[in-house]
Amino acid sequence: MFDILRGKEEKPDEDAEKVEEKDEKKDIDIPPSKSPEPPVSFPKQDMMTKIEDEKKPEDHSLVSKKLIAEVRKHGVDNQEKAKDIYEKAVETLKTLLVKIRTREDLSVYMDKLYGLLDDLFNQLVLGDSILTNIYDDRVEEYYLPHHIVNVVILSSIIGLNMGFNKSRLSHIGLSSIFHDVGMDALREIAAQSRKLTDEEHGLVKTHIQNSLAVVDRVGTFSEVVKETIRQHHERIDGSGYPKGMKADKINAYAKILALADTYEAITHKRPHRAALNAHNAVRFLLGSLKNNFDSGVIKLFINKMSVYPVGSIVILETDEIARVISVQPGSPLRPVVMILRDADGEPVKQSSVIDLSRQDFPSIKGSI
């Protein structure tokens, strides 16, 4: 479905409030988890301002009933297929980074990247299975290809749930692919197991210019994609970089990319810090980071991902241990779970699936 665009496209908890957010690239101090946890509250501001229409009108929603029916007809949402698509996407990104280093002609590789967007989008339409792959820690591997694929998935989820059409999904997809490719030239700094010096932080910030230079080598991207990449570290409260822009001055796609990029970063280990689990990452977004991001994007993201995102391990009121395998829209506190261990902590012989949104008991008692 991206084929037609080729050539044209160019009260959150008080403890969390005390945590200072450092807005340099992937260098966020993570608060310790607390138990028991106070209830999570959603932002109360209005949804983000509607994205301005493109010059070429395209009113139909990409996620039409007909499209979904066709995709489901030709595919099945299962873990094996989703993992295969995910791993192929990572390999595509690894190859892209090699081509960038060796200064090859990137324009001839664009078909591969559009294919990546097609495959990931189709799988997201089918269901949530691919989301379980984004929480796998691969500390022995170079983080950047996985990070980029994860951000593509997360930003696409937000776009899909905003009803983006083909053109808008293409904008956010391409922006996500290229937003951090400039970090590859800084991989030695990113690999440091200590906190970076001020000079190193300054160098890390140049990854935006590096990424834009790569985009210029392709030569077919629209200005909105370049602007989104340029602004993905800006923050609603003006604390971001490179220009310290605020609120409505920030491109709406960049608001989406900023949240996806940050959420992905804080849920994965880096050499200099530990990771948050998915549940605590959501709490962090609603706590210390709530003024950094558009409240409408946060609300939509959490309504889709839930307070307990796909892949989270949770404890039920029955003391059973379960994994979140799906999220029901509108029920962020009551996802679909698969029982892994019984109340005594023993592995279950046969897993059972419970849709918590369809029953009052049990509820989730906490996360692991």
CATH of residue 317: 2.30.30
The two structure tokens encoding residue 68: 């979904």
pTM over 0.85: no
Total number of domains in the chain? 2
Same domain, 315 and 298: no
Residue 77's pLDDT is 53
Q: Which amino acid is at 17?
A: E
Same domain, 28 and 144: yes
How distant is the alpha carbon of residue 89 from its chain centre? 15
Same domain, 223 and 329: no
Residue 270's pLDDT is 80
Residue 138's pLDDT is 62
Residue 292's pLDDT is 96
Same domain, 334 and 213: no
Residue 156's pLDDT is 94
Same domain, 55 and 164: yes
Its sign, for the CA torsion 116, 122, 128, 129, is negative
Residue 26 and residue 28: Cα distance in Å, rounded?
6
Residue 217 and residue 220: Cα distance in Å, rounded?
9
CB-based burial, 236-257: b 16+ in 10 Å, e otherwise: beeebbeeebeeeebbbbbbbb
Listed as ranges, residues in the chain with pLDDT below 70 are 1-78, 129, 135-140
Same domain, 205 and 320: no
Residue 331's pLDDT is 80
Containing structural domain, residue 190: 3-305
Same domain, 285 and 255: yes
Residue 13's pLDDT is 45
From 274, 305, 336, give the residue that closes a domain. Answer: 305
The two structure tokens encoding residue 49: 């301002």
Same domain, 73 and 222: yes
Same domain, 260 and 130: yes
Same domain, 243 and 163: yes
Residue 122's pLDDT is 86
3-state helix vs strand vs coil in the chain, percent to 5? 50, 10, 45
Q: What angle do CA 328, 334, 337 make, to 5 degrees?
A: 85
Residue 37's pLDDT is 45
Task: Give me the half-sphere count of Cα atoms (radius 13 Å) on the Cβ side of residue 243.
Answer: 11
Q: Which amino acid is at 36?
A: P
